[in-house]
Chain A
Amino acid sequence: MIEATGLTKVYGDKTAVDGVSFTVQAGRVTGFLGPNGAGKSTTMRMIMGLDRPTSGSVTVNGVPFAQHAAPLREVGSLLDAKAVHTGRTAYNHLLAMAATHSIPRKRVQEVIEMTGLAEVAKKKVKGFSLGMGQRLGIAAALLGDPQTIILDEPVNGLDPEGVVWVRNLVKYLASEGRTVFLSSHLMSEMAMTADHLIVIGRGRIIADAPIGEIITGKGQSRARVRTDQPEQLMRLLADDGVSVEVQDHELLQVTGLPPRDIARTALDNRIMVYELTPLQASLEEAYMELTKDEVEYHSLITTGAAAPTQTGGQQ
């Protein structure tokens, strides 16, 4: 279990992480989702004791990471695919890491095979692709067979096969009762992998809930209705907080009313409905909704649109 309390990191006049509190439970995959620069990596480095919090604290299984008697056996982390001296071979890198905790060579060999590095293990990391680097990082994280696993953007640069492998690996690790904390800026990836989501934007937690709740919780219930009496049904459904939109001939989109109530109204008024589909917001939509005010780097289109106005003002 990872517990952060009022965790804050200030770099100069920039607050990277702003009083963040959250708990990462064991036995499930917790996704840490946020746009680039939201403070995900900084938070993870603070968990690992690499960055000192400006204020607040974070513990792993009740103890600050640095206080654990055998840190590598407690927490495995992939913070950066290139946290390796590139002049060393993958095997020697893992061997040196293992030596600090008397982890046997057998285990080094095991994680090499587990991560599919057997063929390149004796090669220098210099020549590794980003995907190979990620695999080596994951191998290092698993070395101590830790109870807690922290992975920062683990699928970055992985090929599709590698992405599926990471997805299954983290789910398996969580099913063994381990704490798995995984960051990503890819919502689709989180939808496939995480059970629980912590959404961060501009250093603040915007949402902390099971993934299903995040998808359905935001926004109102929506349904697609097809009927041969659209005008009549529209009139009957119209109410406070309910909006009905004619999308096509005989096709309505109803927002703000559960499908059951729509069906009931139709039945009571003997209106035939030949399609009633509840619409679920995608994680993308939920995420956009959540982070729309918190995006650190707005896309170029926004700045491009703003620029001419300024020039115009000067003229």
Chain B
Amino acid sequence: MSTAALQSSRPQGTGPGPSFLRVLNSEFIKFRTLLSTLVLVGSTVLVMVGFAALNAWGIGQFSEASRNDPQAGAAFAAQGADLTAGIPTSGIAFAQLIIGSLAVLLMSSEFTTGMARSTFSAVPKRTPAFVAKLLVVTACAFVVTVASSLLAYAAASPILDHYGFDIDLGSDHSRRLLLVSGVYVAAVAAIGMSLGTLLRNSAGGIMSLVGLFFVVPIAFQLIPGEFFAEARKYLPDSLFERIVTAAPAEGALEVWQAWTWLGVWVAVPVAAAMIILKKRDV
């Protein structure tokens, strides 16, 4: 039998290809079948719940101490519900770093393990795989943040109750805190995943993320001068603070400006990562 006859007897490459939903499903399988994902998500929940409980206890202790001091007591009462509303999301500074690191790892490990060769052989156009992973990572960040905040609320409520406080989860402020925190951590995750894509290196990606969210804000605060004070306002964590605060300081950005800048912080690294991923050799 000739080769040509053999060849034609077998249809070539028939069957479904990598549609976006299939790639999304694949990325979700990859996400949930790694122990490191579960460990880091679990850590986030623990940190959020732990900080909320600690914070609730601290506020209770402080209110008891200030009972003998009428001035402090008055100041305390004036803050009212806003004080307790921040408790469920009080661990967010650490949660953002854990989730952000997870996002870095999910992409950098593709390259450090060689998995990228498998991933981009199955999805050679590359961009759908990146977008699918981005979607999985940011959705996870949002859900984990909101869910762990609710758990944190459940843990903190009995403690606050003991001191005669409560959290009104239905208040505008509480609801905004909850949702904006979720969106913010999702944004951090998107930045983290882009860093992982650009640097292709786990340690480097995580260090850059920590630098951006921990070192730079502190450095900008410590360095004297008008410029750094002004620049500090445009850092992602400051933008988040601005969006959730009810009483902005003088000279603060408008809320819509803060949202826009946060969008820029996400859009620039994501776009850069997508372009570089498409162009660079795997």
- Asked if B35 CB lies within 8 Å of chain A CBs, one says yes
A14 to chain B, nearest CB (A): 14
A102 to chain B, nearest CB (A): 4
- Asked if B118 CB lies within 8 Å of chain A CBs, one says yes
Residue of B17, B118, B124, B125 with highest tally of chain A CB at under 10 A: B118
Q: Could you list which residues of chain A lie within 8 angstroms of chain B, going by C-beta atoms?
A: 25-28, 45, 48-52, 61, 65-66, 68-75, 77, 79-80, 82-89, 92-93, 95-97, 99-103, 140, 144, 146-147, 176-178
Determine if B121 and A70 form an interchain contact, defined as CB atoms under 8 angstroms apart.
no
Which of B22-30, B75-83, B181-189, B224-232 forms contacts with chain A?
A: B22-30
Determine if A71 and B7 form an interchain contact, defined as CB atoms under 8 angstroms apart.
no
Question: Quick one: given A73-B17, A74-B12, are A99 and B25 in contact (CB under 8 Å)?
Answer: yes
Determine if A51 and B281 form an interchain contact, defined as CB atoms under 8 angstroms apart.
yes
Determine if B109 and A68 form an interchain contact, defined as CB atoms under 8 angstroms apart.
no
Chain B residues lying within 8 Å of A178, measured Cβ to Cβ, are: 10
**C-alpha spacing A74/B11, complex, angstroms:** 10
Contact residues on B (Cβ < 8 Å of other chain), bracket: 35 or more
**C-alpha spacing A25/B12, complex, angstroms:** 15
- Asked if B58 CB lies within 8 Å of chain A CBs, one says no
Chain B residues lying within 8 Å of A75, measured Cβ to Cβ, are: 121
Chain B residues lying within 8 Å of A84, measured Cβ to Cβ, are: 113-115, 118
Question: Quick one: given A51-B281, A52-B281, are A68 and B13 in contact (CB under 8 Å)?
Answer: yes
B173 to chain A, nearest CB (A): 41
Residue of B26, B35, B123, B124 with highest tally of chain A CB at under 10 A: B124
Q: For the complex, would chain A's binding face be called helix, strand, loop or mixed by DSSP majority?
A: loop
Chain A residues lying within 8 Å of B114, measured Cβ to Cβ, are: 80, 82-84
Determine if B122 and A97 form an interchain contact, defined as CB atoms under 8 angstroms apart.
yes
Chain A residues lying within 8 Å of B25, measured Cβ to Cβ, are: 99
Contacts A87-B36, A177-B10 known; 12 new A-B pairs at CB < 8 A? A61-B12, A70-B15, A71-B18, A73-B14, A79-B117, A82-B113, A87-B34, A96-B26, A96-B27, A100-B22, A147-B10, A177-B6
**C-alpha spacing A91/B139, complex, angstroms:** 25
Question: Quick one: given A66-B125, A71-B17, A87-B34, are A97 and B118 in contact (CB under 8 Å)?
Answer: yes
Q: For the complex, would chain B's binding face be called helix, strand, loop or mixed by DSSP majority?
A: helix
Out of B16, B26, B124, which one reaches A66, CB within 8 Å?
B124
Residue of A25, A79, A146 with highest tally of chain B CB at under 10 A: A79
**C-alpha spacing A293/B3, complex, angstroms:** 36
B278 to chain A, nearest CB (A): 10
Out of A52, A72, A85, which one reaches B34, CB within 8 Å?
A85
Chain B residues lying within 8 Å of A48, measured Cβ to Cβ, are: 117, 121, 124
Determine if B7 and A102 form an interchain contact, defined as CB atoms under 8 angstroms apart.
no
Chain A residues lying within 8 Å of B113, measured Cβ to Cβ, are: 82, 84-87
- Asked if B94 CB lies within 8 Å of chain A CBs, one says no
Question: Quick one: given A25-B3, A27-B3, A83-B117, are A88 and B30 in contact (CB under 8 Å)?
Answer: yes
Interface string of B85-129 (1 = CB under 8 A from A): 000000000000000000000000110011111101111110000
Which chain A residue shows the least CB distance to B9?
A177
Chain A residues lying within 8 Å of B109, measured Cβ to Cβ, are: 85, 87
Determine if B110 and A72 form an interchain contact, defined as CB atoms under 8 angstroms apart.
no
Chain A residues lying within 8 Å of B14, measured Cβ to Cβ, are: 70, 73
**C-alpha spacing A291/B113, complex, angstroms:** 33
Interface string of B20-47 (1 = CB under 8 A from A): 0011011101100111100000000000
**C-alpha spacing A68/B124, complex, angstroms:** 9
A194 to chain B, nearest CB (A): 16
Chain B residues lying within 8 Å of A87, measured Cβ to Cβ, are: 34-36, 109, 113
Determine if A83 and B26 form an interchain contact, defined as CB atoms under 8 angstroms apart.
no
A110 to chain B, nearest CB (A): 15
- Asked if B271 CB lies within 8 Å of chain A CBs, one says no
Chain B residues lying within 8 Å of A92, measured Cβ to Cβ, are: 29, 33
Out of B6, B29, B123, B281, which one reaches A176, CB within 8 Å?
B6
Which chain B residue shows the least CB distance to A86?
B113
B33 to chain A, nearest CB (A): 4
Which chain A residue shows the least CB distance to B117?
A83
Out of A26, A27, A77, A89, which one reaches B121, CB within 8 Å?
A77
Determine if B118 and A140 form an interchain contact, defined as CB atoms under 8 angstroms apart.
yes
A144 to chain B, nearest CB (A): 8
Chain A residues lying within 8 Å of B15, measured Cβ to Cβ, are: 70, 73, 101-103, 144
Out of B13, B110, B115, which one reaches A73, CB within 8 Å?
B13
Q: List 24 A-B contacts (CB under 8 A).
A: A25-B3, A48-B117, A48-B121, A49-B124, A68-B13, A72-B121, A72-B122, A73-B13, A73-B15, A73-B17, A77-B121, A84-B118, A85-B30, A85-B115, A86-B113, A95-B33, A100-B22, A102-B22, A103-B15, A144-B15, A146-B13, A147-B10, A147-B13, A178-B10
Question: Quick one: given A140-B118, A177-B3, are A70 and B13 in contact (CB under 8 Å)?
Answer: yes
Chain A residues lying within 8 Å of B29, measured Cβ to Cβ, are: 92, 95-96, 99
Chain B residues lying within 8 Å of A65, measured Cβ to Cβ, are: 124
